[in-house]
Amino acid sequence: MKVLVLGGAGYIGSHVCLELMEAGHSVCVFDNLSSGTRDNLFAGEKFIEGDIMNPSDLAAAMADGIEAVIHMAAFKAAGESMEAPEKYARNNISGTINVLNAMTAAGVRYFVFSSSAAVYGEPEYLPIDEKHPKNPENFYGYTKLEIEGLLAWYDKLKGLKYAALRYFNAAGYDIQNRVTGLEKNPANLLPVIMEVAAGMRSELKIFGDDYDTVDGTGVRDYVHVTDLAKAHVSALEHLARGRDSLVVNLGSEEGLSVKQILEAARRLSGQAVPAVTVARRPGDPAKLVAGSARAKELLGWQAEHSDVDTLVRTSWQVYKSRMKS
Ligand code: UD1
């Protein structure tokens, strides 16, 4: 298929593009390079520098025989979304409406959307399956939930076939070491630890060690970005076979604590990785773990590279090349 990948020069987008090309699809990357980077563009891709806030950019990109859209062009910092909701409303919600309307106008029927575990909010039970109540704790999560609602209506009214993929914590780098672009100003745990290991920042701040978890630090379900990328290809092919739209969790179904990741990073990098415990970060639940049975049932998907050593090793191979001596 001819696939337009919005946000294809970003961290997850670049991995999705590689998996799409490996599966024989033709890829057009559309990115405004605000978080994405040209380092993440690959031979064989077409690249359009464009913005989802600009309907004419989208119309031009879709005029070229595009059959499907994968949409990953969004802001994702949960904390920032509470301080600057306008920014998230504009880009994540209005921007996606622009995308859906451009697709409708161009007759593009298949849509794969990056949703998030943030739609659930504080867990009422674990593991979190798709039926879990949706009460986002932050505005970022609300934007994702709002779009899921829009997708159901565009399906009903316009025949759009979509897959909303609720990622848990994306982490790691391409198993084959083809992606080398670093995230700009990361706030997520693994890239922060990697920056400390590579001498790019002085220490890791552990946000609380008094949670009711295995070692007191926050537990999350980290899913390897190559696993995530493969799920996008499977979801697209599922829709193209004429199947119904779907909403699925993508997680490893395993929990890892901050300290477990930190210890693996120290062991695998051979670096000291200084860390200090500070206050809890507001809005952080103690533990989030996915139930991903629906993805297995509908897409035949399950995480294969999401063990702690693979997550850390594939990240370190990228960061160590940036080491300050
Ligand atoms: C959040 C969102 C998730 C979103 C992701 C993308 C929620 C509930 N989750 O994940 O949907 O896709 O961001 O950015 O809104 N930690 C530290 N020190 C650090 C950074 C993190 O101790 O410097 C800890 C956190 O307290 C947490 C864990 O590491 O326990 C993971 O944090 P992070 O990587 O920021 O992801 P989430 O907040 O889980």
Q: Which residues is 206 bridged to in the sheet?
A: 277
Tell me, in angstroms, the distance from the centre of ligand 1 to residue 270's CA.
24
Q: How far apart are the first and last CA of the chain?
A: 45
Q: Are residues 97 and 229 part of one domain?
A: yes
For residue 306, the domain's CATH number is 3.90.25.10
For the chain, the domain total comes to 2
Q: What mean pLDDT value characterizes the chain?
A: 96
Contact 141, 77 (CB under 8 A): no
53 shares a domain with 103: yes
- Asked if 125 and 153 sit in the same domain, the reply is yes
Same domain? For 83 and 122 the reply is yes
Residue 16 covered by a domain: yes
Q: Is 89 a domain residue?
A: yes
Ligand 1 atom, smallest distance to 190 CA:
34
Whether residue 274 lies inside any domain: the answer is yes
Q: Does residue 182 form part of some domain?
A: no
Tens digits of residue pLDDT in 115-172? 999 999 999 999 999 999 999 999 999 999 999 999 999 999 999 999 999 999 999 9
The whole model's pTM is what? 0.96
Nearest CA to ligand 1 atom 31: 189
pLDDT given at position 325: 60
Return the structure tokens found at 306.
């999401």
151 and 263 part of one domain: no
Q: Which amino acid is at 146?
A: E
pLDDT tier for residue 282 given thresholds of 50, 70 and 90: confident
Helix (H, G, I), strand (E, B) or coil at 217: coil
For residue 11, indicate whether it is catalytic.
no
pLDDT band, residue 317 (cuts 50/70/90) = very high
- The arithmetic mean of pLDDT across residues 289-296, rounded, is 98
Q: Do 135 and 238 belong to one domain?
A: yes
Q: In this structure, is residue 184 part of a structural domain?
A: no
- Whether residues 202 and 230 fall in one domain: no
Spacing, Cα 115 to ligand 1 middle (Å): 15
pLDDT over 70 percentage in the chain: 99
As a whole number, mean pLDDT of residues 211-219 equals: 97
Residue nearest to atom 27 of ligand 1 (CA): 218
Residues 257 and 244 in one domain: no
Q: Are 163 and 236 in contact (CB under 8 A)?
A: yes
- Cα 147 to averaged position of ligand 1 atoms, centre (Å): 21
Look at residue 185 in the predicted model and tell me its pLDDT. Answer: 86
Give ligand 1 pocket residues (Cβ under 6 A): 76-78, 116-118, 138, 141, 167, 169, 187-189, 192, 204-207, 218, 220, 258, 281, 284
Domain extent at residue 81 = 2-170+223-250
Q: Is residue 20 part of a domain?
A: yes
Per the domain annotation, does 25 fall within a domain?
yes
Ligand 1, atom 30, residue with closest C-alpha: 218
Which CATH number belongs to the domain containing residue 56 in this structure? Answer: 3.40.50.720
- Which residues on adjacent β-strands are paired with residue 219? 257, 287
**How many whole angstroms from 188 Cα to the centroid of ligand 1?**
5
Decide if 153 is inside a domain: yes
Which of 80, 132, 138, 169 has most ligand 1 atoms within 8 Å of its beta carbon, as the pocket-test mutant?
169
Q: Same domain, yes or no, for 156 and 29?
A: yes
For the record, the structure tokens of 47 come out as 């690249």
In a shared domain, residues 31 and 138 = yes
Most ligand 1 atoms within 8 A of CB, residue of 281, 287, 308, 311 to mutate: 281
Neighbours of 241 (CB within 10 A): 7
pLDDT in tens, 227-253: 999 999 999 999 999 999 999 999 999
* Residue 268 and residue 193 share a domain: yes
Separation of 8 CA from ligand 1 center, angstroms? Answer: 22
The answer on pLDDT for 324 being more than 80 is: no
Mutate to test the pocket of ligand 1, among 166, 258, 263 (most ligand atoms within 8 A of CB): 258
Do 128 and 274 lie in a common domain?
no
Q: If you write DSSP's letter for every residue of 135-154 in order, what string do you get?
A: --SSHHHHHHHHHHHHHHHH
Least confident of 24-38, 49-63, 103-117, 176-190: 176-190
Cα(195) to centroid of ligand 1, in Å?
Answer: 16
